[in-house]
Chains A and B, each alone.
Chain A
Amino acid sequence: MVSRQHASFDPDVEATAERAVRMLHLDEDIAQMGDLLLQQIEDCETFAGKATEAESEPVFVTLTLALMNNLIHYACAPDDIDAAAQWVRNRWPEAVPTQDPVATLAALTLIHLVDEGARRFQDDGEKKKTWTRIRQRIARSIRPRAAVT
């Protein structure tokens, strides 16, 4: 379960993201490759930080969603994707386009990983700053459904 003590987003979004990741059977891959995945998200943040203020947010979101999209195609079986998409669609009927459920699931996977990173590095001064920035970027991107706490 998500630790509410360090929750960054709307708990409903976090819980949905965590459940979607579990339904995708990505939790095992995240456990094995977590360090690499979090480092890749940090690299995206570094890259986005070099863009102009107006561009840095879309640059970050584009890069990280592409990463998550690839992760799903790398690790997930279509039956799991279909089941997770159906579950999210039932929960948020307007959120999941029927044409490409992977896009929505990639966003939820990113939310889950960002939350994971924020919790993992909460006691690491420099990294904490980075992950707070990342968390804020994502929170702004998914407004108005979630709000930074």
Chain B
Amino acid sequence: MTASATPSGRVELTLRNPSPYTRGGPIVAPWQPVAAAGSLRSGTARVFYDGMGVPTQVDRLDPDDSSRDQLVFSVDERVEKSEEDDYRAPCGTVAVHEGPQAAQGSAWVEVHPTGVKLGNGTLQLWVNTSAASPREDHRDDHWFGGAVTSVQLHGMEMLDAHGAAGGYHHHPDIRCMQVDRVHLVRPPWNVEGSEDVYLHNRNWRTVSAHAGAVRATAVIASDPFRYSWKDTDGKPRIFDCAVYRAISLYPDVDWVGEEIWVKATPGGEGRPAHFWFVPRYFMMSNMSAYPDKFRYPDHPGWFVITSPAEPRQGYGFATDSMAGPLWHPPLDYPQGRTRHRSFSWELGATRFAHSVHIFRQSTTPREISDAIGLLWYKQVYKPMRATL
């Protein structure tokens, strides 16, 4: 770390661009170390790059866990390149000052009793926190916990684009970005083995919502569940756990950023830990009768699903946590006429999974693959960083 001691109320951060070309865009850094180094106590900040203020916000993702606070700012496409493909070379500096939150950008968030709505002028999402269906006529269907049940791209519903194109009713089960299960692994000397925690039929809650100059973020958490394991001393350790998801929209883009973690509090109190876990995604979306799926077999970072029929909609997923096989339909999906619309995939073991979901109309496998591949590189695999 290259700490820059500065007067109280100000701290310098070193920008790290791991790419062999000039870059710009959003940068996310842990807030607490920055605040401590600069004695920034107000919880708000302004970032200056070459003396010019840039869009900045501080997000308290989890008000009960300050280690998750994030400083978020966005810089122009002029952060110098690195000669090496890593984060060693400094590529510029920014100054962080205590200061009022900058004006909100075009991304927004609204909190509702049963979910959260996010929008940015291009995309609009409904994140369903209730396990019950968002539809009045399907309230008894309780498998929508934490699912995004509507994705509108330029006003068109992308989860049932063929229905939207024809002006038909949408299928009541459409949803995407649903973390329907997490897998937790106990140490090998625990006879209980590993555990699957199913989340689709649980209520989630909205933990926080932020709309700032750089992005809009909603954080949701699953209903808590108890998890125990035995340490090497043979004594049980009991944790109250919940799955947290920070879902972010940046202005005027057709993709959604996401971070997932499992917060584990020993005995329900004390300092939380963040467990290793394996999340599984579920999606039920009409991508035509014969969806095209594309990924490089040896590349676990991203994949795309497209419809070969008009309106040729596409979905792409990218992660830093190794996406496993894409199941279509999932092995545990019931028989029925919607099996071809159901998809699931598991990520690799992680403590913090960073992912991107992209939605496109009138696309091709090649075009959306290019887009998600670039997002994978820029947003989750080699994001720009700012360090003390």
Contacts and interface: CB of A to CB of B under 8 A. Distances in A.
Q: Do A and B come from one complex?
A: yes
Interface of A: 25, 33, 36, 40, 66-67, 69-78, 80-81, 102
A72 B165 CA distance: 12
B166 A70 contact: yes
The 4 tightest CB contacts between A and B, nearest first, are A74-B162, A77-B337, A73-B288, A78-B289
Contact of A74 (B166, B290, B340): B166
Interface string B148-168: 000000000000101101111
A72 B289 contact: yes
B167 A73 contact: no
A77 B165 contact: no
Contact of B289 (A40, A66, A67, A73): A73
B337 A80 contact: yes
A36 B309 contact: no
A140 to B, nearest CB: 25
B165 A81 contact: no
Given A36-B167, A74-B162, 5 more contacts: A72-B289, A73-B286, A74-B160, A77-B337, A77-B339
A36 B169 CA distance: 11
Interface in B133-180: 160, 162-163, 165-169
Interface of B: 160, 162-163, 165-169, 286, 288-290, 307, 309-310, 337-340
B286 A25 contact: no
Contacts of B286: 73-74
A74 B290 CA distance: 11
B289 A81 contact: yes
A74 B168 contact: yes
Contacts of A71: 166, 168
A69 B309 contact: yes
A25 B163 contact: no
A66 B310 contact: yes
B337 A70 contact: no
Contacts of B310: 66, 69-70
Given A73-B288, A77-B289, A102 B168 contact: no
10 contacts: A66-B310, A67-B166, A70-B310, A73-B309, A74-B160, A74-B166, A74-B168, A77-B289, A77-B339, A78-B290
A102 B337 contact: no
B340 A78 contact: yes
Given A66-B310, A73-B309, A36 B168 contact: yes
A147 B314 CA distance: 41
A78 B307 CA distance: 13
Contact of A33 (B160, B162, B168, B340): B168
A64 to B, nearest CB: 12
Given A25-B337, A70-B162, A102-B309, A76 B168 contact: no
Nearest to B341: A77
Nearest to B288: A73
Nearest to A77: B337
Contacts of B307: 73
